[in-house]
Amino acid sequence: MSNVAEKFLAYVKIDTQSDRYSETTPSTRKQLDLAKLLVKELKALKLENVTLSEHGYVMATLPANIPNFTGPTIGFIAHMDTSPDFTAENVSPKLVENYHGGDLPLDDAGEIVLSPKEFPELANYKGKTLITTDGSTLLGADDKAGIAEIMTAIEHLVQHPEIPHGPIRIGFTPDEEVGRGADYFDVEAFNADFAYTLDGGEIGDLNYENFNAAGAEIIIHGRSVHPGSAKDKMVNAIMIAIELAQMLPDRERPEHTEEYEGFFHLFELEGDVERARMVYILRDHDREKYNARIELLERSASTLNARYGVGTVELTIKEQYRNMKEKLLPHMHIVDTAKEAMQSLGIEPLITPIRGGTDGSRLSYMGLLTPNIFTGGHNFHGNYEYICLESMESAVQVILKIIELYAAK
């Protein structure tokens, strides 16, 4: 088995699920279990400046081996946490060698099936080695595949000192899945000229633009009155929540959108007559359209307050991240070099907008320009997640090729 597979299979067995409701960083202490293992491995490779911060950020340096090197310091970053959307406890990955096509039963009973009928991309992997779940958990390729690929590339450079390279910085972050992966990332201490996140999907993915993103919490205050005498007295918070949802375009939801189309996504709704709570995320690549989404939600809340009374609807909107394209456009050599690296390896670059965000989204606005590269995974955040081993090995080669290209400039 290849080094990248061995590392990946070890990392995914460590439960690092983050918690969006926690107020600590890292949001879960168990993320430190992986952080401490990575620190141990980085020290064993004799990297320099290996650190683990109080907030769970791992950093390390592979110094340049080219005398008087004047080129850039390149960073490679991946996140340690897995999504809170699906359990990551007791991950038991399955290795499928020489996939023959067709359905792949994940659980022992054969009731949970990874099928090309639902996931047509599977047809691209006939003859390849796949790593899947056992149907009971997510896999954790997002983003432990990125960690394994970075660690394998760095290990290769350490074991082959004859390969010339400039200074390389490594960064592993907590809490990316809950939107807080860059909160305590020390850009100054990281001290790279630019970086790449390894946090993308299928082979060839190369991303330098992403959604502008905001989260909205809506608290609706009702008035509970016995339904037998409720006429002109009851104010039903649940019904007002439904009314608000209907004021937003029903075709502008995630299940109806793709590519550059933005959306309103209601992902939490709870309550009773007296009180209801809604949580939305708002997304759009275009800044003006993104602002228009915020304004529409604000107008809808104002309309309901005018109808039912001031204070009935409390709306709180918090910006989460912005489109990194604005920052990267003046420095496209970073993207172009990744593209050149892929092409030189026979990989077709798939330059697509991210329908989400990465740590690089925020880091690019914090002064560290950071586009995103593929890991090889599919179906993140659920029990149908899988990854192609050959794609992971290609990601390792892309990292090494980027380093080689900048060393030669």
Q: What is the DSSP string of 172-216?
A: EES-GGGT-TTTT--HHHH--SEEEEEEE-STTEEE--B-EEEEE
Q: List, as one string, the DSSP characters of 321-335.
A: E--THHHHGGGTHHH
Cis peptide before 143 (omega within 30 of 0): yes
- The sheet carrying 194-200 orders its strands as 48-52, 58-62, 168-173, 74-79, 194-200, 372-374, 205-207, 350-351
Model confidence band, residue 357 (pLDDT cutoffs 50, 70, 90): confident
Computed from CA positions of residues 317, 29, 362, 339, in that sequence, does the dihedral angle turn out positive or negative?
negative
Cα separation, 276 vs 239, in Å, equals 9
pLDDT in tens, 312-352: 999 999 998 999 999 999 999 999 999 999 999 999 999 99
Q: How far apart are alpha carbons 141 and 308 in whole angstroms?
A: 47
Write down all domains in the chain, each with its CATH number in brackets: 3-210+323-408 (3.40.630.10), 219-321 (3.30.70.360)
Going along 3-83, which residue ranges are E strands?
48-52, 58-62, 74-79
Average pLDDT, integer, range 390-399:
98
The one catalytic residue in 143, 176, 202, 252 is 176
Structure-block tokens of residue 348:
């077709």
Q: Which residues pair with 51 in a beta bridge?
A: 59
Q: What does the pLDDT average to over 363-375?
A: 97
Does residue 29 have a pLDDT over 90?
yes
Predicted local confidence at residue 68, as pLDDT: 94
Catalytic residue among 15, 81, 149, 202: 81
Q: How far, in Å, CA of 334 to CA of 159, rounded? A: 26
Confidence of residue 390 (pLDDT cuts 50, 70, 90): very high
Residue 232 appears among annotated catalytic residues: no
- How confident is residue 2, by pLDDT bands cut at 50, 70 and 90? confident
State residue 256's pLDDT score.
97
Q: Which percentage of the chain shows pLDDT scores above 90?
A: 97
Looking at residue 358, what is its pLDDT? 83
Mean pLDDT of 241-266: 97
pLDDT value at position 1? 59
Q: Over 70: is that where the pLDDT of 105 sits?
A: yes
Predicted local confidence at residue 356, as pLDDT? 83
Which pLDDT score is estimated for 409?
80
Side chain identity, residue 406: Y
Q: Alpha helix (H) ranges present in 201-275?
A: 237-246
Of residues 400, 386, 384, 385, the one with CA closest to residue 347: 400
**Based on the number of CB atoms within 10 Å of its own CB, is 186 exposed (0-12), middle (13-18) or buried (19 or more)?**
middle
pLDDT digits (tens, 9 = 90+) for 129-176: 999 999 999 999 999 999 999 999 999 999 999 999 999 999 999 999
Q: How far apart are CA 218 and CA 15, in angstroms?
A: 32
The string of pLDDT tens digits covering residues 286-313 is 999 999 999 999 999 999 999 999 999 9
Identify whether 176 is a catalytic site residue.
yes
Instruction: State the Cα–Cα distance between residues 322 and 198, nearest whole angstrom.
Output: 19
- 295, containing H or E segment: helix 287-308
**Mean pLDDT value across the chain:** 96
CA-CA distance, 122 to 127, in Å (whole number)? 11
Q: For residue 116, how far is the Cα from the chain centroid?
A: 24
